[in-house]
């Protein structure tokens, strides 16, 4: 299948490397309105160059368009790609409003093309083990979960591009960094019923939050605690997903949430906990998440099935971010 990458910034490199690593995939085209950035990207990833998105869409050989542009541009580009009968792989967040997210989903369904939202953390080996434990009901009734993103995005990061840190094109630490972890919470635990939250811009000169804390109540009764910031001094500290149930406890943590820190279940010997830690330690990253997503799209198209991360999945993560914003703005519980 032939792929085109639109937007040749930092994240586009992960897409390009993933496409090049898969036998059934070919990077056919690249597109950016900045000719210098396009030329620089072309140096490493040879493909047909376009500065016009519309012109790229006219290329009938292209099967899938990977959209890697600033978040605020996602909706317009994805809708155009769907209208041109191209399947869409869309970087997170899928949009900045639910209206735009719904418009993207509708356009893809109307034009009978596949839509996949980039939440590659689902494919981390430790996270997959947690998902399997949940599906096997090893936790029993899940009671408390936690998502923590304690990272650093300094002034140099925000000055690299004018759209970074803006409300209309980017969003803050929840929308840009922690949305992956919110996606994991919903995927692992289930839909959220209501939210209480605080959010603020404390240390960075940006339009959006650099600090947020929230308590969420899931529809199944479990509670979740979310903490996210881009202000940790001097570099990223840690990222973690914790889950505690009536018959099991697990914590996945590290500079990124790739290592098992704690793993204990009723009826399992303590040696198994150490075995699981060592098993993940041997290969904490596994196959790159973007590579999983490219392969999954190919399978979805060939077998006419839904991608692993659907537009509806992307919408749920976005809805939770926006609910936290609303709860923080209103100073009261926000019901989804």
Looking at 65, 92, 120, which one is the last position of a domain? 120
Same domain, 204 and 238: yes
Is residue 161 pLDDT above 90, yes or no? Answer: no
The answer, as to whether pTM is greater than 0.75, is yes
Same domain? For 107 and 187 the reply is no
pLDDT (tens digit, 9 = 90+) per residue, 71-83? 999 999 999 999 9
Domain boundary among the residues 103, 120, 137 is at: 120
If asked whether residues 223 and 111 sit together in one domain, one would say no
Q: What pLDDT does residue 160 have?
A: 86
Same domain as 154, residue 89? no
Size of the chain, expressed as the number of residues it contains: 336
Same domain (yes/no): 16, 28: yes
Query: What is the distance, to the nearest Å, from the Cα of residue 88 to the centroid of all Cα atoms in its chain?
Result: 15
Asked whether residue 67 falls in the same domain as residue 109, the answer is: yes
The beta strands (E) that lie in 202-318 are given as 211-218, 223-229, 238-245, 248-253, 259-265
Q: Are residues 110 and 223 in the same domain?
A: no
Instruction: Find the CATH number of the domain harbouring 67.
Output: 3.40.50.720
- Could you give phi then psi for residue 111, rounded to 5 degrees? -100, 10
How many domains would you assign to the chain?
A: 2
> What range does the domain containing 194 cover?
122-287+318-335
pLDDT band at 303 (very low <50, low <70, confident <90, very high): very high
- Of 72, 99, 120, the domain-final residue: 120
Percentage of the chain beyond pLDDT 70 is 100
Per-residue b/e over 208-235, b at no fewer than 16 CB within 10 Å?
Answer: bbbbbbbbbbbeeebebebbbbbbeeee
* 301 occurs within a structural domain: no
Nearest to 227 by CA among 245, 211, 206: 211
Residues 126 and 112 in one domain: no
Please check whether residues 34 and 182 belong to one and the same domain.
no
> Could you tell me if 60 and 174 lie in one domain?
no
Say yes or no to pLDDT of 225 above 90.
yes
């Amino acid at each position: 299948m032939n792929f085109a990458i639109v937007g040749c910034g930092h994240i586009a490199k992960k897409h390009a490397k993933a496409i090049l690593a898969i036998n059934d995939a070919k990077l056919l085209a690249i597109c950016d309105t900045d000719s210098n950035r396009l030329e620089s990207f072309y140096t490493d990833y040879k493909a047909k160059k376009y500065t016009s998105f519309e012109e790229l869409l006219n290329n009938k050989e292209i099967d899938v368009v990977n959209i890697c542009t600033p978040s605020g541009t996602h909706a317009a580009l994805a809708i155009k790609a769907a209208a041109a009968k191209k399947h869409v792989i869309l970087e997170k967040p899928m949009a900045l409003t639910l209206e735009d997210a719904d418009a993207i989903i509708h356009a893809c369904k109307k034009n009978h093309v596949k839509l996949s939202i980039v939440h590659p953390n689902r494919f981390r080996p430790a996270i997959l083990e947690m998902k399997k434990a949940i599906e096997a009901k090893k936790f029993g009734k899940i009671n408390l979960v936690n998502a923590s993103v304690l990272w650093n995005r300094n002034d140099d990061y925000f000055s690299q591009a004018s759209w970074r840190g803006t409300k209309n094109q980017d969003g803050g630490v929840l929308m840009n960094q922690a949305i992956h972890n919110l996606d994991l919470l919903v995927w692992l635990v289930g839909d959220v019923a209501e939210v209480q939250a605080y959010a603020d811009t404390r240390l960075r000169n940006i339009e959006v939050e650099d600090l947020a804390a929230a308590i969420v109540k899931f529809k199944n009764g479990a509670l979740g605690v979310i903490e996210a910031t881009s202000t940790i001094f001097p570099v990223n500290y840690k990222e973690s997903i914790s889950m505690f149930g009536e018959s099991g406890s697990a914590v996945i943590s590290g500079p990124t949430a790739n290592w098992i820190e704690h793993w204990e279940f009723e009826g399992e010997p303590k040696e198994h906990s150490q075995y699981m830690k060592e098993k993940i330690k041997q290969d904490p990253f596994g196959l790159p998440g973007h590579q999983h997503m490219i392969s999954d799209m190919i399978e979805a198209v060939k077998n006419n099935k839904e991608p692993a991360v659907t537009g509806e999945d992307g919408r749920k993560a976005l809805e939770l971010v926006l609910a936290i914003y609303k709860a923080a703005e209103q100073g009261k519980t926000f019901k989804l």
